[in-house]
Structure 1
Amino acid sequence: MIPIVLIPARMAATRLPDKPLADIHGQPMIVHVLRRAQEADIGPVAVATDTPAIADAVRAAGGIAVLTAADHPSGSDRIHEALGRLDPEGRHQLILNVQGDLPTIDPAAIRAAAALMDHPDVALGTLVAEILREEERDASQVVKMVGSPLGQGRHRALYFTRATAPWGEGPLYHHIGLYAWRREALARFVALPPSALERREKLEQLRALEAGMRVDAQEVAVVPLGVDTPADLDRARAILAA
């Protein structure tokens, strides 16, 4: 499969207005995400956005940007439209969805998600990291993956939840919202209505599980910093200054 990396980005954040264009050492945050994805060196990279200012910033940095509809309910829908515009011939059959608010993402993590697609039954690959901080075990904003270990840090995902799960002794895993899709699985996913558990937990990936799609997850050492607040932005600046 020939990979392509797509980065959905929009201006809708309320806690950090104009988030994709937030300055980090002279470059908009979305450009830092673009650079990390390019450093993964697994295929072409493009930003999918409904905002001309974001597209202009990406193009000014030498990147590829695709303008999409403004009413997409999720990043998955946005990258599906962008994929059709960029690759109507269907050359790219492996799609990496890298969130546009991860300016410190390790390029190796992107490659790790792509590597999960080595098994032909896997429709969707994602990432997890072991929860080490006690306060995160019960935090609803920290999404947990419940899965069966397959060896070498790989898991078959059985469920995702905001609750503390599974019960009993053993590690808990923090889900990281970076996805590798088979093209046909992405097309099937966006054609499905939101599922019952997806609506209840407010977790899009449950739609795939409820539809019978196989989801595998790879452990990585560090949860990448998602920038949602001014404090997160300050942290990202500090990390990228190092």
Structure 2
Amino acid sequence: MSLTVLIPARLASTRLPNKPLADIAGLPMIVRVAQRVSSGLGAGTRVVVAGDSPGIVQACQQHGVEVVLTRVDHPSGSDRLAEACDLLKLPDEALVVNVQGDEPLIDPALVSAVAELLRQRPEASMSTAAHPIHEVADFVNPNVVKVVLDARDLALYFSRAPIAWWRDGFAQGVKTLPDPAPLRHIGIYGYRAGFLRQFPKLAQAPIEVTEALEQLRAMWHGHRIAVHVTQQAPGAGVDTPEDLARVRRLFAA
């Protein structure tokens, strides 16, 4: 099965306008992400940016990055990826990994692991990744998404709440973490192209709306998500001007 890495990119960002085109050591951020992914994957892997503006398309083409122009009005990244699958005429059995366009520090080995996991787990419609949480502040932070797995490393549930929650946690005042360590979800996804085309057509799930987590839609409709557990936390993405300044310093060094 062929592997295509799709990197969605849109100009609209409330905290960091024109984020995909932000300069990082002389290159637009979206180009940095594509080059980083390409540097660690096999020659047969296709890396494609799915942009929503001519500016993104032009920036990618200037630096030899494959790109497709998608509609501006997509309600979610999944809709954009589904359109990209059609534009690229990917067969339903093709493997697709979604890498966010604001992660210039992404580890290509993680991309490979998520793709390989889906290749090995035909019972799963999706794959993703997680790593152990070591700080109480992360465990109770609703912006840090947690995941609980079954014995086969298939996701049982994703939540912004601290899960799995141990019985005496409240009594201890959340000063320690449960054992074994809870898992933080990493926002990278593998799909089969056929499922990716189907996913935006599925009805929204009540738990998806409550948690504001799109992956819960797949689980609510009975699809399984395989999870690769890594001990290494990924490099932080770029969401704010402060994040961008930090990444620029890292590349400058």
TM range (shorter): over 0.9
Letter in 2 for 1:65: V
Q: Does structure 2 retain, via aligned residues, the 8 Å contact 1:122–1:214? A: yes
Q: Does structure 2 retain, via aligned residues, the 8 Å contact 1:40–1:110? A: no
Post-superposition CA distance 1:15-52 (Å, at most 9, x none)? 11111111110001101110122123241111001111
Structure 1 equivalent of residue 202 of structure 2: 192
Aligned with residue 155 of structure 2, among 142, 154, 157: 157
Aligned mates of 2:151, 2:21 — CA distance in 1:
39
Structure 2 equivalent of residue 97 of structure 1: 98
Aligned mates of 2:251, 2:204 — CA distance in 1:
37
Aligned mates of 2:159, 2:92 — CA distance in 1:
35
Kindly indicate whether residue 170 of structure 2 is the aligned counterpart of residue 176 of structure 1: no
Aligned mates of 1:92, 1:158 — CA distance in 2:
25
Listed as ranges, the matches of 1:45-56 within 5 Å are 45-56=47-58
Structure 1 equivalent of residue 175 of structure 2: none
Max radius of gyration: which structure?
2
Count residues with an aligned counterpart: 237
Offset at residue 224 of structure 1 (A) = 2.7
Kindly indicate whether residue 126 of structure 2 is the aligned counterpart of residue 124 of structure 1: yes
Aligned mates of 1:240, 1:116 — CA distance in 2:
31
Aligned mates of 1:51, 1:195 — CA distance in 2:
30
Q: Which runs of 4+ in 1 moved over 6 A?
A: none
Offset at residue 231 of structure 1 (A) = 1.0
Query: What secondary structure, in the 3-state scheme, does the structure 2 residue paired with 1:71 have?
Result: coil
Structure 1: give runs of 5+ residues left out of the alignment: none
Kindly indicate whether residue 140 of structure 2 is the aligned counterpart of residue 138 of structure 1: yes
Letter in 2 for 1:66: V
Aligned mates of 2:93, 2:138 — CA distance in 1:
37
Structure 1 length as normaliser, TM-score? 0.94
Aligned mates of 2:34, 2:234 — CA distance in 1:
18
Q: Does structure 1 retain, via aligned residues, the 8 Å contact 2:81–2:196? A: no
Aligned mates of 2:68, 2:237 — CA distance in 1:
23
Aligned mates of 2:92, 2:143 — CA distance in 1:
37
Q: Does structure 1 retain, via aligned residues, the 8 Å contact 2:92–2:195? A: no
Structure 1 equivalent of residue 32 of structure 2: 32
Aligned with residue 63 of structure 1, among 46, 53, 65: 65
Kindly indicate whether residue 245 of structure 2 is the aligned counterpart of residue 234 of structure 1: yes
Q: Share of identical aligned residues, percent?
A: 44
The CA RMSD measured in Å over matched residues stands at 1.4
Q: Does structure 1 retain, via aligned residues, the 8 Å contact 2:92–2:194? A: no
Letter in 2 for 1:23: D
Change in CA separation of 1:174 and 1:47 when aligned onto 2, cut-off 3 Å: same
Structure 2: give runs of 5+ residues left out of the alignment: 167-177
Letter in 1 for 2:199: F
